[in-house]
């Protein structure tokens, strides 16, 4: 039974934006925590730690996000948990974001001039104090633009959660399309909604980058 594409359908699609945002927020917050750990491990004095973190990054940057989602989704059964699309998507996207943010932040930490570390060490600051008060605050300013840029990638990445059956924006579009069979209109609408979420962030990332570059070349 094919329905007409009505305002109720548009509303259903718009309401699903909520889940795209919730999933993005979970993955971003989880990825920020994980990414900080990965970045610190990548820049630590211990060779073993550096190796493990590098391997983690390589695995998640060298395999498709779709495969990562499937692996976690079917992996839930392996560790004896019930199959749950939201949990699987949240875990997979968090790991994915941890690797990417870890790599971005490693670069930012290494971009802080080494004299800063030396000066902090000369002041006999401990590793924790050195990181907290000297290195990370400066690294954070360098990292802001690429981090916002990655957030765009992450929001787009949440669309793949539709494939393992989580009803976010893309899957809401598929559901409406199956009922109304107006793919041009439906996927056009969905594309516009993603664009409205991502484009402002892209512009912000670009503006931050230009500001940062000016600050460096001054």
54-62 long-range contacts, CB within 8 A, separation 24+: 56/98, 56/99, 56/102, 57/99, 57/102, 57/103, 59/99, 60/95, 60/96, 60/98, 60/99, 60/100, 61/99, 61/100, 61/103
Contacts of 42 (CB under 8 A, 6+ apart): 50, 53, 54, 57, 102, 103, 106
* Number of residues located near another protein, criterion CB under 8 A: 40
Q: Does 23 bind another protein (CB under 8 A)?
A: no
Shortest Å, Cβ 181 to another protein: 9
Q: Does 65 bind another protein (CB under 8 A)?
A: yes
Q: Does 156 bind another protein (CB under 8 A)?
A: yes
Shortest Å, Cβ 23 to another protein: 13
Q: Does 163 bind another protein (CB under 8 A)?
A: yes
Q: How many Å apart are CA 218 and CA 214, to the nearest integer?
A: 6
Question: 24-43 burial, b for 16+ CB within 10 Å, e for fewer?
Answer: bebbbebbbebbbebbbbbb
- Of residues 168 through 207, those in contact with another protein by CB under 8 A are 170, 173-174, 177, 182-184, 186-188, 190-191, 194-195, 198-199, 202
User: Which one among 68, 94, 98, 147 touches another protein, defined by CB under 8 A?
Assistant: 68
- Whether 57 and 102 have beta carbons less than 8 Å apart is answered as yes
User: CB 186: neighbour CB atoms within 10 A?
Assistant: 23
Nearer to another protein (CB atom), residue 191 or residue 215: 191
Nearer to another protein (CB atom), residue 50 or residue 156: 156
At 205, list the tokens.
């990332």
Shortest Å, Cβ 112 to another protein: 22
Shortest Å, Cβ 125 to another protein: 35
Q: Does 78 bind another protein (CB under 8 A)?
A: yes
Shortest Å, Cβ 32 to another protein: 22
Shortest Å, Cβ 135 to another protein: 26
Question: 82-93 burial, b for 16+ CB within 10 Å, e for fewer?
Answer: eeebbebbbbbb
Would you state the torsion angle of the CA atoms of residues 80, 82, 85, 91, taken in this order, to the nearest 10 degrees? -40
Q: Does 14 bind another protein (CB under 8 A)?
A: no
Binding-site ranges for another protein (CB under 8 A): 59, 62-68, 70-71, 74-75, 77-80, 152, 156-157, 159-160, 162-163, 170, 173-174, 177, 182-184, 186-188, 190-191, 194-195, 198-199, 202
């Amino acid at each position: 039974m094919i329905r007409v594409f009505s305002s109720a359908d548009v509303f259903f699609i718009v309401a699903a934006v909520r889940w795209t945002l919730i999933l993005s927020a979970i993955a971003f917050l989880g990825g920020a925590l994980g990414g900080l750990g990965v970045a610190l491990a990548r820049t630590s004095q211990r060779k073993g730690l550096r190796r493990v973190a590098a391997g983690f990054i390589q695995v998640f940057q060298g395999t498709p996000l779709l495969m990562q989602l499937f692996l976690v989704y079917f992996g839930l059964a392996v560790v004896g948990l019930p199959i749950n699309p939201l949990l699987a998507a949240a875990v997979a996207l968090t790991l994915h974001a941890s690797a990417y943010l870890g790599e971005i932040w490693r670069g930012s930490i290494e971009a802080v001039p080494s004299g800063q570390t030396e000066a902090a060490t000369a002041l006999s600051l401990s590793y924790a104090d050195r990181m907290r008060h000297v290195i990370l605050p400066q690294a954070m300013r360098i990292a802001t633009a690429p981090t916002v840029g990655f957030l765009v990638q992450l929001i787009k990445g949440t669309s793949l959660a539709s494939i393992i059956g989580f009803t976010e924006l893309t899957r809401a579009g598929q559901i409406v399309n199956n009922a109304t069979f107006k793919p041009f209109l439906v996927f056009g609408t969905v594309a516009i909604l993603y664009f409205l979420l991502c484009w402002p962030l892209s512009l912000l990332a670009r503006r931050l980058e230009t500001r940062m570059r000016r600050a460096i070349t001054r």
